Amino acid sequence: MCVFSDGARCVASRGESDADADADADADADDAPARCERVVGKLSASDAENRETNRVRWRVRVRDGSEDALASADFGTASTARWDSRCDWRFVLRTREDDEEGSVSVYVQRRDGARGTASKTTTTAVEMCFVLAFVARDGSRHFETYLSRIFDGEGDSWGIKHAFKVHEAPCLVSAHGDVDVEVCIHDIRACRARRSKESAPVASSIRCLSEDCLLFVLEDFFSEDEAQELINIATPSLQRSRVTDGKFSEGRTSSSCFLTGARGHSDVVRAVESRIQKVVHLPIVTSRRDHGLHQIEPMQIVKYAPGERYTAHYDNRAGSLKRTLTFMGYLREPESGGATHFPKAIPLCGNTADPGGIRIYPKRGRAILFWSVKSDAQTEAMRSLHEAEQVERGYKWIFTQWLSSDGQDDDE
C-alpha cells in the first residue's frame, strides 16, 4: 500500500540554519554543508542562456550516520523573461532530517552574490520550476516530482521534506547505502513577488505516483480563497448525487452539482480550468502521455457529509471512453476519513506485491489527476478503478473536471 498524506511527504519551507546559512569562502568550514558527490551533469548560466537541459545528479548516503546536509556547488542562471536578471542558487540535500532514518529532503536556496553577481539581482522576484527524481542503477527515474516556487530575494530557501524514504523503495539504494538524486531545472523567469494567500502559478509540486493509470498528485494547486469561493457558488444548487447513468445509487451518497451557465463562467472557475490546462501540458505529464485534451463537461462540485462515500468505480462511460482524464481537487478536508483509494494501482517503485494500491488523503489545495484509458487512448485502464472512502467526521468538498481526447461533445 502506498499512502499519500501530510506525514508521508510534505512540501515545506525551511529557513537557513547555522549549518547552511553561509557557504562562502570566508565561512567556517565546520558550519558549511559537505559537498555532494556529483555523478553526471552540470548546472551553469551558459546552459540556461542556451536553453539546454539543466540536469545534475548527486549520490548521497542514506543508511548510516546522523542528520547531514550536503550542498551542491553554487550555480548561476538568467531569467528567461529578463536576461539582465541573474541569480545564484544551490541545492541542499538533507539526509535523515528530524531523525527520520533513511530519508532524503531536497531544498533549493537563492544565493545572489555567491558567485560575484550584481547586487541588483537581490531585488528581483524569480520563479524557479524544477524536476526532482531518484534514479535507479538501470537509469530509470522514480518518485519524479515537478516543483515550482517564487523566490522573493537572496536567502529564500524552500523544498520538499522527506522526498524519499528507504523503506518505500529499497530497490533504489545500493549495497553501500547510496541513492542517486537528480535535479533538472525546467524554467526560471522574473515575476511579481509572492503573496501570502496566493497559490503557486500551477502548483508547488506535482508527483507521479503510478504509471499504469498515470496518477499524479499536486500540492497547492489553488488557494484557500478559491476553494471557499467554489464552495459558496455550489452550495445553493447541491442535490443528491447520481451515477453516470443518471440514477440514484446506494454506492454514491454525496451531494453535488455541475457549474453550468453563469456559474461556469465565473472568474474563479475560469482560473482553475486554465490552470488545469497548464498542468496537462507540463513536461512531467506530456513526456508520459501527450494527448490533445478537451473539456467536455462543466466542473462538478461534490460534498460528502459524515457516513457518505462513493464505492469503487470507473469515471469513463461504459463503451464510450469519453472521460479520458479526471482532474480532482480537495476544496475542504474532513476531520477523519474520506481518502481517495485506487485499489488496483501499482505505486512507482513501491511494494508491487502488496495488493493495497494507493490511498491519497484529502488536504485543501491538493489535487490529483489520472487517466481512465491507456496510452492508445482507446483501451480501458483497469487500474484506474477508485473509490471515495467513507467520511467519518467533518465534511469533505471536492471539485472534478473531466477531459476527453476525442473532441466530441458530451450527450448528457
**Under a CB-based contact definition with an 8 Å cutoff, are residues 28 and 57 in contact?**
no
As a whole number of angstroms, the distance between CA 3 and CA 218 comes to 15
- Other Cβ atoms closer than 10 A to 83: 11
Helix or strand run (H / E) with residue 200: none
CATH 2.60.210.10 residue ranges for the chain: 2-194
As a whole number of angstroms, the distance between CA 354 and CA 351 comes to 6
**Under a CB-based contact definition with an 8 Å cutoff, are residues 71 and 91 in contact?**
yes
CA 49 to chain centre: 27
Nearest CA-CA partner of 145 in 294, 325, 349: 349
Residue 303 has pLDDT above 90, yes or no: yes
Contacts of 140 (CB under 8 A, 6+ apart): none
How confident is the model at residue 201, as a pLDDT? Answer: 60
Q: What angle, 0 to 180 degrees and rounded to 10, lies between the N-to-C axes of helices 267-280 and 224-234? A: 120
As a whole number of angstroms, the distance between CA 14 and CA 17 comes to 8
The lowest-confidence range among 185-189, 254-258, 305-309, 348-352 is: 348-352
The lowest-confidence range among 88-97, 107-116, 167-176, 271-280 is: 107-116
Residue 268 has pLDDT above 50, yes or no: yes
Q: Which residues pair with 132 in a beta bridge?
A: 145, 183
Residue 266 has pLDDT above 90, yes or no: yes
**Under a CB-based contact definition with an 8 Å cutoff, are residues 247 and 240 in contact?**
no
DSSP 3-state of 267: helix
- Other Cβ atoms closer than 10 A to 257: 20
Question: With 0-12 CB in 10 A as exposed, 13-18 as middle and 19+ as buried, what is 400?
Answer: middle
CA distances from 141 to 57, 172, 187, 305, 337 (A): 11, 9, 20, 40, 32
Nearest CA-CA partner of 88 in 51, 38, 48: 48
Fold adopted by 2-194: 2.60.210
Q: What is the dihedral of CA 93, 98, 99, 103, to 10 degrees?
A: -40
Question: By percentage, how much of the chain surpasses pLDDT 70?
Answer: 72
Question: With 0-12 CB in 10 A as exposed, 13-18 as middle and 19+ as buried, what is 319?
Answer: exposed
Q: Which amino acid is at 360?
A: I
CATH 2.60.120.620 residue ranges for the chain: 224-404
How confident is the model at residue 11, as a pLDDT? Answer: 41
CATH class as words, domain 224-404: mainly beta
* 163-166 CB contacts, 8 Å cutoff, 24+ apart: 163/9, 163/104, 163/105, 163/106, 163/132, 163/134, 164/62, 164/103, 164/104, 164/134, 165/100, 165/102, 165/103, 165/104, 166/62, 166/63, 166/101, 166/102, 166/103
**Average pLDDT of the chain, as a whole number:** 76
Is the pLDDT higher at 212 or at 77?
A: 212
Helix or strand run (H / E) with residue 296: none
Helix or strand run (H / E) with residue 105: strand 103-110
DSSP 3-state of 73: coil
CA angle 341, 343, 345 (to 5 degrees): 100
How confident is the model at residue 38, as a pLDDT? Answer: 40
Q: What is the mean pLDDT of residues 252-259?
A: 94
Residue 36 has pLDDT above 50, yes or no: no
Residue 399 has pLDDT above 80, yes or no: yes
